[in-house]
Structure 1
Amino acid sequence: MRPMRSMLYIPANSPGMLQHAPIFGCDSILIDLEDAIAYTEKDSARVMASWFLREFDFKDLFVTVRLNGADTEFFEKDIEAIIPCRPHAVRLPKCNSEADVLLADEKIGEAEEKCGMARGTVQLHAMVETALGLENAFRIASACPRVTALTLGGQDFTADMGIQKTRGGRELFYARSRIVAAAHAAGVASFDTVWTDLNDPEGLYNESKEIVELGFTGKACIHPGQIPTIHRAFMPEMSELRKALRVVEAAEAAEREGKGVISVGGKMVDAPIVARSAHLLALAELYGIEREAL
């Protein structure tokens, strides 16, 4: 799977934005049926999301749909309408435990089987938005094979904690570290929360660089104008790419020669470093940097 640096939230009842999604330049979109949709518009938004998923060509975008929570009357209706349309993934909000994930997994699996799809076709991105969910982050991320990403819902998390989100983001440092560590331990992707101030691109860039350094694989955004800033923050340094290339080439040579040990510059290299290096080279391709240029 290609790296997903940016995931653009688009309200499900915004046909103009959905129609222009392929030209915004993001790596993925998230069609939102939850917070962006008023209570009275849930049904019509679901119908519109379903139509776009069935009829519209999103090109090479990775398409995720954020469902309404399992504790709402809309949850099962969302699953029944969205799963047959085969989005790449659905995002489950307010995951507090592995039980929440397993419930969603079963409901999605039933919907898949009902329309002739193999169980597990649609991926699940689990959203952690409470202190309890944070404590259970690894169990949530590893609850079932359908889970391919763990994501932090910063606005609801700070509300649950009774604190305010600040420009510096110090209050989210522990939560971010916990989320990204749990995701890496479970072998899934990790997405950071949104930056809400559209008039502060410098703040967005600083926060994006920080989450890249923490190990997040992507960041959510709420406006197309934020996408270039996020992508700039994810761009690897050339020195990193050259080192990554040496690691990947050594791993490829070891595989060809049937060797189980990989050495680069006289130092042993293990599987996580090889995976990280391969990820960096995949990122480089998104910036038009070919191996031959390194």
Structure 2
Amino acid sequence: MRLRRSRLYVPGNNPSMLVNAGVYGADVLTFDLEDSVSPGEKLAARLLVGELLKEKTVDFGRSEVTVRINPLSTPYGKKDLLEIVCERLEGIYLPKTESEEDVIKLDELLTRLEEEKGLEVGRIKLFAIIETARGVLNAYQIASASKRLEAITIGGEDLTADLGGERTPDGMTLFTARQMILLAARAAGVQALDTVYSDIKDSDGLYQEAVTVRKMGYDGKAAIHPSQIEVIHRAFTPTEEEIEYARRVIEALETAKKEGSGVAALGSKMIDRPIVKRAERILERAKAAGLLSREE
């Protein structure tokens, strides 16, 4: 799947940030029509993002181009889709996703719009943002509801409010939800993406949280400010030591195969399938980050 270490929210009502979003270097850009836009500015933001996506001279670099629409249950969601679906749009983030029906409904609307606009059906991917207790409990059904869906992600602020808790530095309020969403994503064969870290001045706190969720198994983390992108990339990019160890694991496995041995070892440690999978994932992430060539 595509590399999605970092995902930058860009307010849909900020022309300067929208036009320059490609220079920030995020793996994913998410032009936001929901939380960062007040009701009185919804129309203007929708039109602005729609025109931006249709303007082919705007360079988004290597970033995946996505939009967070408003929930389809609001007066804005369907109108957002009508305005933004076009050739350059690569994905849609659906907020407040609580059930598989939410995903299926969006899938059907997208299919209709792709057909009407002469686009390849299924080319626009879906990403479900889970922000309520009900959504967490339905995470697997959500994650497996559509072939378009490539990741599920947790909306930390809204979920914390729904739980009646408080976000703390130790992350305990969201710990169980993060685990459940990760389990659902892996069971469904899609990516798991983490929520934002709201204190843009606390780079150390962001780094520690990003490292923690990476070690849990998450594939990436959202950002609300361009300054957070480098920190997230550092947390999700393998170190030289990790890459070297992963290489040695794969080499030991290949040597064992050539020698006709069903058992591979690295030093005094046996290499089993989970160790190999982890090594393969590290090397794939290193290649995606440009640290290794695709041939290596």
TM-score in same-fold range (> 0.5): yes
Aligned pair 1:78/2:68, yes or no?
A: no
2:228 counterpart residue number: 226
2:38 counterpart residue number: 38
The 5-angstrom pairing of residues 39-54 of structure 1 reads: 39-54=39-54
Flag the 1:249–1:52 CA change in 2: closer, same or farther, 3 A. Answer: farther
Report the 3-state secondary structure (helix = DSSP H, G, I; strand = E; otherwise coil) of the residue aligned with 1:195.
coil
Report the 3-state secondary structure (helix = DSSP H, G, I; strand = E; otherwise coil) of the residue aligned with 1:63.
strand
2:187 counterpart residue number: 185
1:116 counterpart residue number: 118
| TM-superposed deviation, 1:252 | 8.4
| TM-superposed deviation, 1:222 | 0.4
Report the 3-state secondary structure (helix = DSSP H, G, I; strand = E; otherwise coil) of the residue aligned with 1:124.
strand
User: Is the 8 Å Cα contact of residues 244 and 280 (structure 1) preserved in structure 2?
Assistant: yes
What CA deviation, in whole Å up to 9, does each residue of 1:247-276 have, x standing for no partner? 556888999x9x9x9864364437x954x5
For 2:263 and 2:41, the matched residues in 1 are separated by 58
User: Is the 8 Å Cα contact of residues 250 and 276 (structure 2) preserved in structure 1?
Assistant: no
Say how many residue pairs are matched. 288
Flag the 1:47–1:178 CA change in 2: closer, same or farther, 3 A. Answer: same
Report the 3-state secondary structure (helix = DSSP H, G, I; strand = E; otherwise coil) of the residue aligned with 2:218.
coil
After superposing the two structures, state which structure 1 stretch, 123-132 or 71-80, moved more: 71-80
Report the 3-state secondary structure (helix = DSSP H, G, I; strand = E; otherwise coil) of the residue aligned with 2:10.
strand
2:10 counterpart residue number: 10
For 2:253 and 2:48, the matched residues in 1 are separated by 47
For 1:126 and 1:262, the matched residues in 2 are separated by 42
For 1:120 and 1:262, the matched residues in 2 are separated by 42
| TM-superposed deviation, 1:14 | 1.1
For 1:230 and 1:60, the matched residues in 2 are separated by 17
Flag the 1:32–1:201 CA change in 2: closer, same or farther, 3 A. Answer: same
What CA deviation, in whole Å up to 9, does each residue of 1:146-184 have, x standing for no partner? 110100000100111111111221111101111111111
Flag the 1:291–1:97 CA change in 2: closer, same or farther, 3 A. Answer: same
| TM-superposed deviation, 1:287 | 5.2
> Which residue identity does 1:217 align to in structure 2?
D
For 1:288 and 1:169, the matched residues in 2 are separated by 31
Report the 3-state secondary structure (helix = DSSP H, G, I; strand = E; otherwise coil) of the residue aligned with 1:18.
helix
For 1:83 and 1:248, the matched residues in 2 are separated by 43
> Which residue identity does 1:159 align to in structure 2?
A
For 1:146 and 1:283, the matched residues in 2 are separated by 22
| TM-superposed deviation, 1:244 | 2.8
% identity of equivalent residues: 42
1:167 counterpart residue number: 169
Report the 3-state secondary structure (helix = DSSP H, G, I; strand = E; otherwise coil) of the residue aligned with 1:84.
coil
Aligned pair 1:25/2:25, yes or no?
A: yes
Flag the 1:248–1:150 CA change in 2: closer, same or farther, 3 A. Answer: farther
**Unaligned 5+ runs, structure 2:** none
For 1:65 and 1:17, the matched residues in 2 are separated by 14
| TM-superposed deviation, 1:6 | 0.6
How high is the TM-score relative to the length of structure 1?
0.89
User: Is the 8 Å Cα contact of residues 250 and 263 (structure 1) preserved in structure 2?
Assistant: no
For 1:175 and 1:23, the matched residues in 2 are separated by 33
Aligned pair 1:269/2:250, yes or no?
A: no
What CA deviation, in whole Å up to 9, does each residue of 1:76-130 have, x standing for no partner? 1111111224411000011111111111111111111111122211000001000
Flag the 1:236–1:77 CA change in 2: closer, same or farther, 3 A. Answer: same
> Which residue identity does 1:115 align to in structure 2?
K
What CA deviation, in whole Å up to 9, does each residue of 1:14-72 have, x standing for no partner? 11112222221221111001011110111111111111111122121111100100110
Flag the 1:117–1:85 CA change in 2: closer, same or farther, 3 A. Answer: closer
